[in-house]
Protein backbone atom coordinates (compact mmCIF):
# COMPACT_ATOMS: atom_id res chain seq x y z
CA UNK A 1 0.00 0.00 0.00
CA UNK A 2 2.84 2.39 0.85
CA UNK A 3 4.44 1.63 -2.51
CA UNK A 4 1.16 2.45 -4.31
CA UNK A 5 0.91 5.82 -2.56
CA UNK A 6 4.54 6.57 -3.41
CA UNK A 7 3.90 5.81 -7.07
CA UNK A 8 0.79 8.01 -7.04
CA UNK A 9 2.74 10.85 -5.42
CA UNK A 10 5.53 10.50 -7.97
CA UNK A 11 3.00 10.52 -10.84
CA UNK A 12 1.34 13.63 -9.41
CA UNK A 13 4.67 15.44 -9.15
CA UNK A 14 5.48 14.51 -12.75
CA UNK A 15 2.07 15.64 -14.05
CA UNK A 16 1.92 18.86 -12.04
CA UNK A 17 2.61 21.87 -14.28
CA UNK A 18 5.70 23.96 -13.68
CA UNK A 19 5.95 27.68 -13.14
CA UNK A 20 3.09 30.13 -12.70
CA UNK A 21 0.43 27.73 -14.04
CA UNK A 22 1.39 25.18 -11.41
CA UNK A 23 1.15 27.78 -8.67
CA UNK A 24 -2.28 28.90 -9.89
CA UNK A 25 -3.47 25.28 -9.95
CA UNK A 26 -2.22 24.84 -6.40
CA UNK A 27 -4.15 27.95 -5.37
CA UNK A 28 -7.32 26.60 -7.02
CA UNK A 29 -6.81 23.29 -5.25
CA UNK A 30 -6.45 24.98 -1.87
CA UNK A 31 -9.54 27.08 -2.46
CA UNK A 32 -11.49 24.00 -3.54
CA UNK A 33 -10.51 22.25 -0.33
CA UNK A 34 -11.56 25.29 1.73
CA UNK A 35 -14.97 25.35 0.04
CA UNK A 36 -15.51 21.67 0.79
CA UNK A 37 -14.46 22.03 4.42
CA UNK A 38 -16.76 25.05 4.75
CA UNK A 39 -19.65 23.05 3.26
CA UNK A 40 -19.02 20.23 5.71
CA UNK A 41 -18.97 22.60 8.67
CA UNK A 42 -22.02 24.55 7.49
CA UNK A 43 -24.21 21.51 6.72
CA UNK A 44 -22.96 18.93 9.19
CA UNK A 45 -22.64 16.04 8.54
CA UNK A 46 -24.64 15.75 5.30
CA UNK A 47 -27.23 17.63 3.28
CA UNK A 48 -30.74 16.44 4.13
CA UNK A 49 -32.62 18.74 1.75
CA UNK A 50 -31.71 16.48 -1.18
CA UNK A 51 -31.60 12.68 -1.26
CA UNK A 52 -33.02 10.10 -3.66
CA UNK A 53 -33.27 6.96 -1.55
CA UNK A 54 -30.18 5.21 -2.94
CA UNK A 55 -29.30 3.85 0.50
CA UNK A 56 -32.60 1.97 0.72
CA UNK A 57 -31.44 -0.37 -2.03
CA UNK A 58 -27.88 -0.61 -0.72
CA UNK A 59 -29.21 -2.77 2.10
CA UNK A 60 -31.46 -4.96 -0.08
CA UNK A 61 -31.63 -5.71 -3.80
CA UNK A 62 -29.44 -3.20 -5.63
CA UNK A 63 -31.22 -3.80 -8.92
CA UNK A 64 -34.77 -3.09 -7.74
CA UNK A 65 -34.44 0.68 -7.57
CA UNK A 66 -37.07 1.94 -10.05
CA UNK A 67 -35.48 5.40 -10.29
CA UNK A 68 -31.76 4.76 -10.76
CA UNK A 69 -29.26 2.23 -12.09
CA UNK A 70 -27.60 0.12 -9.42
CA UNK A 71 -24.06 1.52 -9.56
CA UNK A 72 -24.25 4.14 -6.80
CA UNK A 73 -26.22 1.91 -4.43
CA UNK A 74 -23.55 -0.72 -5.04
CA UNK A 75 -20.87 1.74 -3.94
CA UNK A 76 -22.86 2.61 -0.81
CA UNK A 77 -23.30 -1.09 -0.04
CA UNK A 78 -19.55 -1.74 -0.33
CA UNK A 79 -18.78 1.22 1.91
CA UNK A 80 -21.55 0.13 4.29
CA UNK A 81 -19.72 -3.14 4.82
CA UNK A 82 -17.00 -1.06 6.48
CA UNK A 83 -18.93 1.70 8.22
CA UNK A 84 -22.43 3.11 8.49
CA UNK A 85 -21.29 6.63 9.35
CA UNK A 86 -22.96 9.00 6.91
CA UNK A 87 -19.84 11.17 6.95
CA UNK A 88 -17.84 8.41 5.20
CA UNK A 89 -19.44 8.70 1.74
CA UNK A 90 -19.48 12.49 2.06
CA UNK A 91 -15.72 12.60 2.67
CA UNK A 92 -15.04 10.23 -0.21
CA UNK A 93 -17.28 12.22 -2.50
CA UNK A 94 -15.44 15.45 -1.73
CA UNK A 95 -12.17 13.66 -2.45
CA UNK A 96 -13.65 12.32 -5.69
CA UNK A 97 -14.45 15.87 -6.77
CA UNK A 98 -10.85 16.93 -6.22
CA UNK A 99 -9.59 13.87 -8.11
CA UNK A 100 -11.98 14.59 -11.00
CA UNK A 101 -10.71 18.15 -11.26
CA UNK A 102 -7.08 17.05 -11.45
CA UNK A 103 -7.84 14.31 -13.99
CA UNK A 104 -9.76 16.64 -16.30
CA UNK A 105 -7.03 19.25 -15.99
CA UNK A 106 -4.33 16.71 -16.82
CA UNK A 107 -6.33 15.39 -19.79
CA UNK A 108 -6.84 18.91 -21.14
CA UNK A 109 -3.17 19.74 -20.75
CA UNK A 110 -2.21 16.55 -22.58
CA UNK A 111 -4.51 17.28 -25.53
CA UNK A 112 -3.88 21.03 -25.77
CA UNK A 113 -0.23 21.11 -24.77
CA UNK A 114 -1.02 24.07 -22.50
CA UNK A 115 -0.76 24.07 -18.72
CA UNK A 116 -2.88 27.23 -18.65
CA UNK A 117 -5.71 25.56 -20.57
CA UNK A 118 -5.83 22.86 -17.90
CA UNK A 119 -6.84 25.43 -15.30
CA UNK A 120 -10.34 25.96 -16.75
CA UNK A 121 -11.77 22.44 -16.31
CA UNK A 122 -9.87 21.91 -13.06
CA UNK A 123 -11.06 25.24 -11.72
CA UNK A 124 -14.76 24.76 -12.47
CA UNK A 125 -14.85 21.33 -10.82
CA UNK A 126 -12.91 22.59 -7.80
CA UNK A 127 -14.88 25.81 -7.31
CA UNK A 128 -18.41 25.20 -8.63
CA UNK A 129 -20.65 25.28 -5.52
CA UNK A 130 -23.28 23.13 -7.27
CA UNK A 131 -20.71 20.34 -7.53
CA UNK A 132 -19.70 20.84 -3.89
CA UNK A 133 -23.35 20.70 -2.82
CA UNK A 134 -23.93 17.39 -4.61
CA UNK A 135 -20.70 15.95 -3.19
CA UNK A 136 -22.10 16.78 0.24
CA UNK A 137 -25.34 14.90 -0.46
CA UNK A 138 -26.07 11.19 -0.74
CA UNK A 139 -26.37 11.60 -4.49
CA UNK A 140 -24.62 9.85 -7.35
CA UNK A 141 -23.26 12.77 -9.40
CA UNK A 142 -19.79 12.96 -7.85
CA UNK A 143 -19.02 9.29 -8.52
CA UNK A 144 -20.41 9.49 -12.06
CA UNK A 145 -18.19 12.53 -12.69
CA UNK A 146 -15.16 10.69 -11.30
CA UNK A 147 -15.74 7.62 -13.51
CA UNK A 148 -16.30 9.89 -16.52
CA UNK A 149 -13.12 11.86 -15.72
CA UNK A 150 -11.09 8.66 -15.57
CA UNK A 151 -12.56 7.59 -18.91
CA UNK A 152 -11.81 10.93 -20.57
CA UNK A 153 -8.29 11.07 -19.14
CA UNK A 154 -7.60 7.54 -20.41
CA UNK A 155 -8.97 8.49 -23.84
CA UNK A 156 -6.66 11.52 -23.94
CA UNK A 157 -3.73 9.27 -23.09
CA UNK A 158 -4.82 6.90 -25.87
CA UNK A 159 -4.47 9.75 -28.40
CA UNK A 160 -0.70 9.13 -28.30
CA UNK A 161 -1.00 5.34 -28.49
CA UNK A 162 1.62 4.53 -25.84
CA UNK A 163 2.73 0.96 -25.29
CA UNK A 164 0.99 -1.26 -24.46
CA UNK A 165 -1.45 0.32 -26.91
CA UNK A 166 -4.54 -1.38 -25.44
CA UNK A 167 -4.13 -0.21 -21.83
CA UNK A 168 -5.63 3.29 -22.03
CA UNK A 169 -8.47 2.48 -24.48
CA UNK A 170 -9.43 -0.46 -22.28
CA UNK A 171 -9.46 1.72 -19.17
CA UNK A 172 -11.46 4.39 -20.99
CA UNK A 173 -14.17 1.96 -22.07
CA UNK A 174 -14.47 0.32 -18.66
CA UNK A 175 -14.54 3.64 -16.78
CA UNK A 176 -17.20 5.14 -19.05
CA UNK A 177 -19.32 2.00 -18.71
CA UNK A 178 -19.06 2.27 -14.93
CA UNK A 179 -20.24 5.89 -15.24
CA UNK A 180 -23.31 4.61 -17.11
CA UNK A 181 -23.97 2.10 -14.32
CA UNK A 182 -24.07 5.05 -11.91
CA UNK A 183 -26.02 7.49 -14.11
CA UNK A 184 -27.42 6.13 -17.35
CA UNK A 185 -27.45 9.63 -18.91
CA UNK A 186 -23.71 9.05 -19.52
CA UNK A 187 -24.48 6.42 -22.19
CA UNK A 188 -24.25 8.70 -25.24
CA UNK A 189 -20.76 9.81 -24.24
CA UNK A 190 -19.35 6.38 -25.12
CA UNK A 191 -19.91 6.59 -28.92
CA UNK A 192 -18.57 10.16 -28.89
CA UNK A 193 -15.36 8.99 -27.21
CA UNK A 194 -15.02 6.10 -29.67
CA UNK A 195 -15.32 8.50 -32.63
CA UNK A 196 -12.83 10.90 -31.03
CA UNK A 197 -10.30 8.10 -30.61
CA UNK A 198 -10.70 7.23 -34.29
CA UNK A 199 -10.27 10.84 -35.44
CA UNK A 200 -7.25 11.46 -33.24
CA UNK A 201 -5.09 9.15 -35.34
CA UNK A 202 -3.87 10.18 -38.83
CA UNK A 203 -5.70 8.60 -41.74
CA UNK A 204 -4.07 5.58 -43.36
CA UNK A 205 -5.56 4.00 -46.47
CA UNK A 206 -4.18 0.49 -46.43
CA UNK A 207 -2.11 -2.03 -44.58
CA UNK A 208 -0.92 -2.20 -41.01
CA UNK A 209 -1.24 1.56 -40.37
CA UNK A 210 -4.90 1.47 -41.36
CA UNK A 211 -5.62 -1.40 -38.99
CA UNK A 212 -3.72 0.27 -36.14
CA UNK A 213 -5.87 3.39 -36.49
CA UNK A 214 -8.97 1.46 -35.48
CA UNK A 215 -7.67 -0.72 -32.70
CA UNK A 216 -7.90 1.92 -29.93
CA UNK A 217 -11.54 2.96 -30.64
CA UNK A 218 -12.63 -0.64 -31.13
CA UNK A 219 -10.96 -1.68 -27.88
CA UNK A 220 -12.72 1.11 -25.96
CA UNK A 221 -16.06 0.24 -27.56
CA UNK A 222 -15.66 -3.48 -26.88
CA UNK A 223 -14.65 -2.90 -23.25
CA UNK A 224 -17.65 -0.66 -22.62
CA UNK A 225 -19.99 -3.08 -24.38
CA UNK A 226 -18.78 -6.09 -22.36
CA UNK A 227 -19.25 -4.26 -19.04
CA UNK A 228 -22.70 -2.95 -19.98
CA UNK A 229 -23.93 -6.28 -21.32
CA UNK A 230 -22.77 -7.96 -18.11
CA UNK A 231 -24.55 -5.28 -16.08
CA UNK A 232 -27.70 -5.65 -18.18
CA UNK A 233 -27.61 -9.40 -17.62
CA UNK A 234 -27.31 -8.92 -13.86
CA UNK A 235 -30.23 -6.50 -14.04
CA UNK A 236 -32.22 -9.18 -15.86
CA UNK A 237 -31.37 -11.85 -13.28
CA UNK A 238 -31.69 -9.85 -10.07
CA UNK A 239 -33.85 -6.96 -11.26
CA UNK A 240 -36.97 -6.42 -13.31
CA UNK A 241 -35.57 -6.63 -16.85
CA UNK A 242 -32.53 -7.02 -19.09
CA UNK A 243 -31.19 -3.54 -19.76
CA UNK A 244 -29.45 -0.50 -18.37
CA UNK A 245 -32.17 2.05 -17.68
CA UNK A 246 -34.53 1.63 -14.73
CA UNK A 247 -38.26 2.00 -15.50
CA UNK A 248 -37.82 3.26 -19.08
CA UNK A 249 -41.57 3.00 -19.63
CA UNK A 250 -42.41 5.37 -16.78
CA UNK A 251 -39.78 7.91 -17.81
CA UNK A 252 -41.09 7.95 -21.36
CA UNK A 253 -44.65 8.17 -20.08
CA UNK A 254 -43.76 11.26 -18.04
CA UNK A 255 -42.68 12.98 -21.24
CA UNK A 256 -45.41 11.91 -23.70
CA UNK A 257 -48.28 12.34 -21.21
CA UNK A 258 -47.70 16.07 -21.56
CA UNK A 259 -49.08 16.00 -25.12
CA UNK A 260 -50.52 12.51 -25.86
CA UNK A 261 -53.81 12.44 -27.79
CA UNK A 262 -55.40 8.98 -27.65
CA UNK A 263 -57.54 9.76 -30.70
CA UNK A 264 -54.35 9.35 -32.73
CA UNK A 265 -53.43 5.85 -31.50
CA UNK A 266 -54.99 2.80 -29.90
CA UNK A 267 -53.98 2.40 -26.24
CA UNK A 268 -52.97 -1.12 -25.12
CA UNK A 269 -55.65 -3.00 -23.24
CA UNK A 270 -55.82 -1.87 -19.64
CA UNK A 271 -54.25 1.55 -20.26
CA UNK A 272 -57.27 3.43 -21.60
CA UNK A 273 -57.58 5.40 -18.35
CA UNK A 274 -54.19 7.02 -19.01
CA UNK A 275 -55.78 9.06 -21.80
CA UNK A 276 -56.62 12.70 -21.03
CA UNK A 277 -58.87 15.32 -22.50
CA UNK A 278 -57.06 18.20 -20.78
CA UNK A 279 -55.74 20.71 -23.35
CA UNK A 280 -52.00 20.38 -23.89
CA UNK A 281 -51.46 23.99 -22.82
CA UNK A 282 -52.95 23.18 -19.40
CA UNK A 283 -51.07 19.94 -18.73
CA UNK A 284 -48.43 19.72 -16.06
CA UNK A 285 -44.79 18.59 -16.03
CA UNK A 286 -43.17 15.20 -16.21
CA UNK A 287 -42.63 15.22 -12.44
CA UNK A 288 -46.38 15.41 -11.95
CA UNK A 289 -47.18 12.56 -14.31
CA UNK A 290 -44.49 10.30 -12.89
CA UNK A 291 -44.74 10.96 -9.16
CA UNK A 292 -47.92 12.78 -8.12
CA UNK A 293 -50.47 10.42 -6.60
CA UNK A 294 -53.25 12.33 -8.41
CA UNK A 295 -51.70 11.85 -11.86
CA UNK A 296 -53.24 9.13 -14.07
CA UNK A 297 -50.48 6.50 -13.94
CA UNK A 298 -49.65 6.71 -10.20
CA UNK A 299 -53.35 6.76 -9.38
CA UNK A 300 -54.12 3.68 -11.51
CA UNK A 301 -50.95 1.59 -11.24
CA UNK A 302 -49.39 2.67 -7.95
CA UNK A 303 -45.83 3.76 -7.27
CA UNK A 304 -43.35 4.75 -9.96
CA UNK A 305 -41.93 1.68 -11.71
CA UNK A 306 -44.87 -0.69 -11.43
CA UNK A 307 -46.16 -2.30 -14.63
CA UNK A 308 -43.35 -0.56 -16.48
CA UNK A 309 -43.78 -2.63 -19.63
CA UNK A 310 -47.49 -1.84 -19.96
CA UNK A 311 -47.04 1.87 -19.30
CA UNK A 312 -44.09 1.89 -21.67
CA UNK A 313 -46.20 0.30 -24.40
CA UNK A 314 -48.76 3.11 -24.05
CA UNK A 315 -46.01 5.72 -24.17
CA UNK A 316 -44.36 4.16 -27.22
CA UNK A 317 -47.62 4.20 -29.17
CA UNK A 318 -48.13 7.85 -28.28
CA UNK A 319 -44.55 8.58 -29.31
CA UNK A 320 -44.92 6.93 -32.72
CA UNK A 321 -48.24 8.63 -33.35
CA UNK A 322 -47.00 12.11 -32.35
CA UNK A 323 -43.29 12.02 -32.98
CA UNK A 324 -43.21 15.65 -34.09
CA UNK A 325 -44.86 16.77 -30.87
CA UNK A 326 -42.38 14.66 -28.90
CA UNK A 327 -39.45 16.44 -30.56
CA UNK A 328 -41.07 19.82 -29.97
CA UNK A 329 -41.52 19.09 -26.27
CA UNK A 330 -37.99 17.69 -25.92
CA UNK A 331 -36.55 20.77 -27.62
CA UNK A 332 -38.47 23.08 -25.27
CA UNK A 333 -36.85 21.38 -22.26
CA UNK A 334 -33.41 21.20 -23.87
CA UNK A 335 -33.47 24.87 -24.90
CA UNK A 336 -34.26 25.99 -21.38
CA UNK A 337 -30.76 25.04 -20.19
CA UNK A 338 -29.33 27.71 -22.52
CA UNK A 339 -32.28 30.13 -22.36
CA UNK A 340 -33.64 30.15 -18.79
CA UNK A 341 -36.33 32.66 -19.79
CA UNK A 342 -38.02 29.94 -21.83
CA UNK A 343 -38.36 27.75 -18.76
CA UNK A 344 -41.89 27.35 -17.34
CA UNK A 345 -42.55 29.77 -14.49
CA UNK A 346 -43.01 26.98 -11.95
CA UNK A 347 -39.41 25.85 -12.57
CA UNK A 348 -37.87 29.26 -11.97
CA UNK A 349 -36.51 30.66 -8.72
CA UNK A 350 -35.89 34.23 -7.66
CA UNK A 351 -32.12 33.66 -7.79
CA UNK A 352 -32.02 31.63 -10.98
CA UNK A 353 -30.65 28.67 -9.01
CA UNK A 354 -32.10 25.20 -9.00
CA UNK A 355 -33.80 25.07 -5.57
CA UNK A 356 -32.45 21.55 -5.09
CA UNK A 357 -28.88 22.89 -5.13
CA UNK A 358 -29.40 26.24 -3.42
CA UNK A 359 -27.31 26.69 -0.27
CA UNK A 360 -29.90 29.30 0.73
CA UNK A 361 -32.66 26.69 0.78
CA UNK A 362 -33.81 26.54 4.42
CA UNK A 363 -35.56 23.27 3.72
CA UNK A 364 -38.95 22.11 4.84
CA UNK A 365 -38.97 20.88 8.44
CA UNK A 366 -41.33 17.99 7.68
CA UNK A 367 -39.57 16.89 4.48
CA UNK A 368 -36.14 17.25 6.09
CA UNK A 369 -37.23 15.10 9.03
CA UNK A 370 -38.55 12.42 6.67
CA UNK A 371 -35.36 12.43 4.60
CA UNK A 372 -33.16 12.32 7.70
CA UNK A 373 -35.13 9.34 8.97
CA UNK A 374 -34.80 7.73 5.56
CA UNK A 375 -31.02 8.11 5.68
CA UNK A 376 -30.94 6.66 9.19
CA UNK A 377 -32.53 3.44 7.95
CA UNK A 378 -29.09 2.67 6.55
CA UNK A 379 -26.71 5.01 8.38
CA UNK A 380 -26.09 5.44 12.08
CA UNK A 381 -28.28 8.11 13.73
CA UNK A 382 -26.87 11.62 13.40
CA UNK A 383 -27.77 15.17 14.33
CA UNK A 384 -27.94 17.68 11.50
CA UNK A 385 -26.55 21.17 12.12
CA UNK A 386 -26.60 24.32 10.00
CA UNK A 387 -23.89 26.96 10.49
CA UNK A 388 -25.47 30.10 9.13
CA UNK A 389 -22.19 32.01 9.11
CA UNK A 390 -20.70 29.50 6.69
CA UNK A 391 -23.84 29.50 4.54
CA UNK A 392 -23.62 33.29 4.38
CA UNK A 393 -20.25 32.81 2.63
CA UNK A 394 -21.41 30.01 0.35
CA UNK A 395 -24.61 31.76 -0.76
CA UNK A 396 -23.06 34.71 -2.65
CA UNK A 397 -20.35 32.40 -4.00
CA UNK A 398 -23.03 30.21 -5.52
CA UNK A 399 -24.63 33.18 -7.25
CA UNK A 400 -21.37 34.11 -9.00
CA UNK A 401 -19.23 31.00 -9.55
CA UNK A 402 -21.33 28.31 -11.14
CA UNK A 403 -21.86 26.59 -14.47
CA UNK A 404 -25.08 28.36 -15.44
CA UNK A 405 -26.76 29.22 -18.73
CA UNK A 406 -24.26 31.96 -19.67
CA UNK A 407 -21.19 29.76 -19.25
CA UNK A 408 -22.95 26.84 -20.92
CA UNK A 409 -23.74 29.03 -23.93
CA UNK A 410 -20.15 30.31 -24.18
CA UNK A 411 -18.62 26.84 -23.90
CA UNK A 412 -21.09 25.51 -26.48
CA UNK A 413 -20.07 28.22 -28.96
CA UNK A 414 -16.38 27.55 -28.30
CA UNK A 415 -16.99 23.84 -28.81
CA UNK A 416 -18.57 24.46 -32.21
CA UNK A 417 -15.68 26.75 -33.13
CA UNK A 418 -13.10 24.24 -31.89
CA UNK A 419 -14.51 21.55 -34.17
CA UNK A 420 -13.67 23.74 -37.16
CA UNK A 421 -10.22 25.13 -36.33
CA UNK A 422 -6.91 23.82 -35.08
CA UNK A 423 -5.06 20.57 -35.57
CA UNK A 424 -6.53 17.12 -35.94
CA UNK A 425 -5.54 16.46 -32.33
CA UNK A 426 -7.21 19.59 -30.97
CA UNK A 427 -10.41 18.96 -32.94
CA UNK A 428 -10.52 15.39 -31.67
CA UNK A 429 -10.07 16.77 -28.15
CA UNK A 430 -12.92 19.25 -28.58
CA UNK A 431 -15.10 16.41 -29.86
CA UNK A 432 -14.06 14.25 -26.92
CA UNK A 433 -14.83 16.82 -24.22
CA UNK A 434 -17.28 19.24 -25.82
CA UNK A 435 -19.57 16.98 -27.81
CA UNK A 436 -19.18 14.34 -25.11
CA UNK A 437 -20.26 16.90 -22.51
CA UNK A 438 -23.24 18.03 -24.58
CA UNK A 439 -24.28 14.40 -25.00
CA UNK A 440 -24.86 14.21 -21.23
CA UNK A 441 -27.88 16.50 -21.40
CA UNK A 442 -29.65 14.77 -24.31
CA UNK A 443 -31.13 11.71 -22.48
CA UNK A 444 -32.73 13.82 -19.71
CA UNK A 445 -34.13 16.21 -22.31
CA UNK A 446 -35.66 13.31 -24.26
CA UNK A 447 -37.07 11.23 -21.44
CA UNK A 448 -37.23 13.28 -18.26
CA UNK A 449 -37.94 16.87 -17.26
CA UNK A 450 -35.90 19.96 -16.40
CA UNK A 451 -33.50 19.85 -13.45
CA UNK A 452 -30.61 22.26 -12.91
CA UNK A 453 -28.41 19.51 -11.50
CA UNK A 454 -28.40 17.70 -14.86
CA UNK A 455 -25.85 20.26 -16.11
CA UNK A 456 -23.42 19.64 -13.23
CA UNK A 457 -21.59 16.67 -14.85
CA UNK A 458 -21.21 18.71 -18.06
CA UNK A 459 -19.22 21.50 -16.43
CA UNK A 460 -15.75 19.94 -16.48
CA UNK A 461 -15.82 18.47 -20.01
CA UNK A 462 -17.39 21.60 -21.52
CA UNK A 463 -14.76 23.83 -19.92
CA UNK A 464 -12.07 21.47 -21.19
CA UNK A 465 -13.37 21.83 -24.76
CA UNK A 466 -13.51 25.60 -24.38
CA UNK A 467 -9.94 25.65 -23.04
CA UNK A 468 -8.62 23.62 -26.00
CA UNK A 469 -10.34 25.99 -28.44
CA UNK A 470 -8.94 29.07 -26.68
CA UNK A 471 -5.44 27.55 -26.77
CA UNK A 472 -5.79 26.97 -30.51
CA UNK A 473 -7.04 30.53 -31.07
CA UNK A 474 -4.05 31.84 -29.13
CA UNK A 475 -1.65 29.81 -31.26
CA UNK A 476 -3.39 30.95 -34.44
CA UNK A 477 -3.02 34.56 -33.36
CA UNK A 478 0.71 34.15 -32.78
CA UNK A 479 1.17 32.39 -36.11
CA UNK A 480 -0.48 35.30 -37.89
CA UNK A 481 1.66 37.80 -36.02
CA UNK A 482 4.77 35.85 -36.95
DSSP string, 84-117: --THHHHHHHHHHHHHHHHHHHHHHHHHH--TTT
Please tell me the distance from the alpha carbon of residue 423 to that of residue 419, in angstroms, as a whole number: 10
Residue 394 lies in a domain: yes
Q: Tell me if 53 is assigned to some domain.
A: yes
**Sequential pLDDT tens for the chain (482 residues):** 566 567 666 666 667 888 899 999 999 999 999 999 999 999 999 998 888 899 999 988 899 999 999 999 999 999 999 999 999 999 999 999 999 999 999 999 999 999 999 999 999 999 999 999 999 999 999 999 999 999 999 999 999 877 888 999 999 999 999 999 999 999 999 999 999 999 997 765 555 566 677 899 999 999 999 999 999 999 999 988 899 988 899 999 998 999 999 999 999 999 999 999 889 888 888 888 999 999 999 999 988 999 999 999 999 999 999 999 999 888 888 888 898 877 655 455 544 556 778 887 777 777 788 899 999 999 999 999 989 899 889 988 988 888 888 999 999 999 999 999 999 999 999 999 999 999 999 888 887 777 778 899 999 999 999 999 999 999 988 878 77
Residue 293 lies in a domain: no
Would you state the pLDDT for residue 46? Answer: 95
In this prediction, residue 449 carries a pLDDT of 73
420 falls within a domain: yes
Predicted confidence at residue 50, as pLDDT, reads: 87
CA angle 296, 297, 301 (to 5 degrees): 125
**Residue pair 55/45 in contact by the 8 Å Cβ criterion:** no
In a domain, 167, yes or no: yes
Is residue 366, in this structure, part of any structural domain at all?
Answer: no
Query: Model's pTM, two decimal places?
Result: 0.94
Compute and round to an integer the Cα radius of gyration of the chain.
23
Domain residues for the domain of 474 are 2-244+375-481
Q: 3-state SS of the chain: helix, strand, coil percent to 5?
A: 70, 0, 30
Domain presence at residue 253? no
Q: What's the confidence (pLDDT) of residue 109?
A: 96
Angle between helices 459-481 and 141-158 (to 10 degrees): 40
Number of structural domains, the chain? 1
The answer as to whether 468 is a domain residue is: yes
> How much is the pLDDT for 350?
45
Amino acid sequence: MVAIFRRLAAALRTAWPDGAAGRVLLGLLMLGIVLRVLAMISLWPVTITLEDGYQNYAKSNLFMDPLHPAGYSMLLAVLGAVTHEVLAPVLLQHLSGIASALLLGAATRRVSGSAWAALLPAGIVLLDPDIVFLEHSIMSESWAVLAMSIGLYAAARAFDEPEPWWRWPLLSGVALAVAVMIRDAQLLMIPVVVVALALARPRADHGERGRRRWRAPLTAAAAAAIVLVAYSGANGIFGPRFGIAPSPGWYLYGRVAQFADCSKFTPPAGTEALCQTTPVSERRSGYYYMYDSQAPAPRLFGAFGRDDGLIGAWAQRALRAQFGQFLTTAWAYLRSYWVPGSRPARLRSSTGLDPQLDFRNPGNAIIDAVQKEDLEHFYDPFTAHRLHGGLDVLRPWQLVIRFGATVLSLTTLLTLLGLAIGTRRSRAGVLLFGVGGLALIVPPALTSTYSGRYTVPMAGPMMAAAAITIAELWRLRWRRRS
